[in-house]
Structure 1
Amino acid sequence: MSTQNKIALITGGSRGLGKNSAIALAKKGIDVVLTYNTNKEEADKVVSEIESLGRKAFALQLNTSDTKNFDDFINKVTAHLKEKTGSPNFDFLINNAGIGLYQPFEDVTEEQMDEIYNIHYKGVFFLTQKALPFLNTGGGIVNISSGLTRITMPGSSVYGSLKAAVETLTRYLAKELGPRKIRVNVVAPGAIETDFGGGRVKDNKELNAQIAGFTALGRVGLPDDIGGVVAFLCSDESYWINGQKIEVSGGQAL
């Protein structure tokens, strides 16, 4: 990773939206550090694809629900960057890693709540906090939320509520990090055909058709619809966008 290239750290970069975003960042000329939870092989494939685009990439394991390992993770990231670039710093943090939960409100267990909270809110909060000392002035943070903070679908009460908390956190971060010229925004995908949530939208044809039916552009989203928006928010063209939520859904439930 050369000193002049900007660098992004993206969690959950081995598949789905994270993979697509990592590749879109590389196409924008940004080097990438990506994390994976269990699938090193897939992460390594993403690294190879980014390198084939002429950018540098590096993959590290991280369970974003396990905050006690964040110090060690940040130490590994910054040591790698210092060795490769002479500086431990990077420019962008994309909080993307996550899992789904589809459960009627009355059936949600405390364990399920804790798992989703730890990954989608607590993990985002404290990983961002640990990364902040190494985030360059003038850089940016992109938090991945969900169209389910605006569109209510039964079974997503926990997931949608915690993503709404991330959207509120994003505005606070934008305000508090303003003096460092660090922009903080949200990308909220609509329903997307990925393996997320057990491939629910991708594999359930009835659900897929239902969502396509209330989407203005007439289909369900694809990973390629999302990554370019994340990359755009890490570019100079988007400098004046701050504290905002961009829903990327093709016009769902308008």
Structure 2
Amino acid sequence: MSTTIQQQKIVLVTGGSRGIGKSIALHAAERGLGVILTYNNNPEKGREVAEQIRASGGKAVALKLDASLLSSFDSFTEQLRAVLKSEWNRDEFDYLVNNAGIAQRTLIKDTTEEVFDQLVTVNFKGVFFLTQKLIPFITDGGQIINISSGLARFAFPGTAVYGALKAGVEGLTRYFAKEYADRKIRVNSVAPGAIDTEFGGGKGDESHRQQIASMTALGRLGEADDVGAFVASLLSDDSRYVNAQRIEVGGGIYI
């Protein structure tokens, strides 16, 4: 009787060195996926996550990616292809999680054109063009998950541009699902609610955190692992008929 060796499926998680991205990478590895994670300014953190996965018996590689520098996407793609070949003997990968992003903490009246452009480049333009660049290397029947935000649904002062861009990413999600339907590539967006991480410069004071928690049906702020575990659960055939959807992981905030 012949046996077929099933090759390990691989996920690429951008911004995988900390917070939600780190949690996604760790939970994906726990489910048996090979992990390629990216970091930008902190290579040590990226390598620590990869080493943590390897120490637990998984396979992981950390690569540098500056999501604000679109001219670097070609060289990143070449690095990715080299790693796929050297580590997995493959030319393609299975899942892309577009998680890398930057936050906003400026009211509309204080938002400069420079801040606006930086937010657009990283949170929208970078997502579009990186996905465009990488989708030829995603297997038919694979999946793309775009990390959005609850701020695409509800408004919070100081996050107007960020929230609007995340709404735009949710729109892109549907268009990518439509245009790559012939390859059976599913494209979904996951929108975290109020998550207790350092994203955007800190967790805020305790009274503010308690106020946000009181607006959430489950009565607490989310943790990175609440999102990471859910995203990892989508990266399987269990979600094979979920496509072009926006799924909010927010504990029932602002309902």
The question of 1:31 aligning with 2:44 is answered no
Measure the CA separation in 2 of the matches of 1:143 and 1:207: 28
Distance 1:97 1:246 in 2: 18
Deviation at 1:101, TM superposition (A): 0.5
For residues 150 and 87 of structure 2, the distance between their equivalents in structure 1, rounded to whole angstroms, comes to 38
**Counterpart in 2 of 1:208?**
209
Matched AA of 2:140:
T
Q: Deviations over 1:167-195 (max 9, x none)?
A: 00000011111110110000100011111
The answer to whether residue 136 in structure 2 is matched with residue 133 in structure 1 is yes
Matches within 5 A, 1:100-249: 100-199=103-202, 202-249=203-250
1:83 aligns with 2:89: no
Cα offsets for 1:49-72 (capped at 9, x unmatched): 111232110001111011000000
Question: How far apart are the structure 2 equivalents of 1:121 and 1:66?
Answer: 13
Partner of 2:20: 17
Aligned to 1:250: 251
| Structure 2 spans left out of the alignment, 5+ residues | none
User: Normalized against structure 1, the TM-score is what?
Assistant: 0.97
Residue 98, structure 1, aligned to residue 101, structure 2 = yes
| Of 54, 58, 62, the match for 1:59 | 62
The letter of the residue matching 2:187 is V
Please state how far the C-alpha of 1:203 moved relative to its aligned partner.
Answer: 3.2
Residue in structure 1 matched with residue 50 of structure 2 by the alignment = 47
Deviation of the 1:149 alpha carbon: 0.8
Equivalent residue letter for 2:248: E
Contact 1:142 1:186 in 2 (8 A): yes
Structure 1 residue runs of 4+, over 6 Å off? none
1:35 deviates by: 0.4
Deviation, 1:106, is 1.2
Residue 203 of structure 1 aligns to a residue whose secondary structure is coil
C-alpha deviation, 1:84, in angstroms:
2.3
SS across alignment from 1:141: strand
Cα distance in 2 for partners of 1:245, 1:214 equals 21
TM-score computed with the length of structure 2 as normaliser: 0.96
- Cα deviation digits, residues 111-150 of structure 1 (max 9, x gap): 0001000000000000001101100011000000000011
Q: Are the counterparts in 2 of residues 33 and 57 from structure 1 also a CA contact under 8 Å?
A: yes
Q: CA deviation at 1:3?
A: 6.9
Q: Distance in 2 between matches of 1:217 and 1:210?
A: 13
Which string of whole-angstrom CA distances, capped at 9 and with x for unpartnered residues, describes residues 91-121 of structure 1? 0000001111011111110000010000000
2-structure distance, mates of 1:89, 1:16: 27
Task: Give the aligned residue type for 1:98.
Answer: G
Distance across 2 between alignment mates of 1:142 and 1:119: 16
Preserved CA contact (<8 Å) 1:3 1:86: no
Amino acid paired to 1:61 = K
2-structure distance, mates of 1:142, 1:130? 15
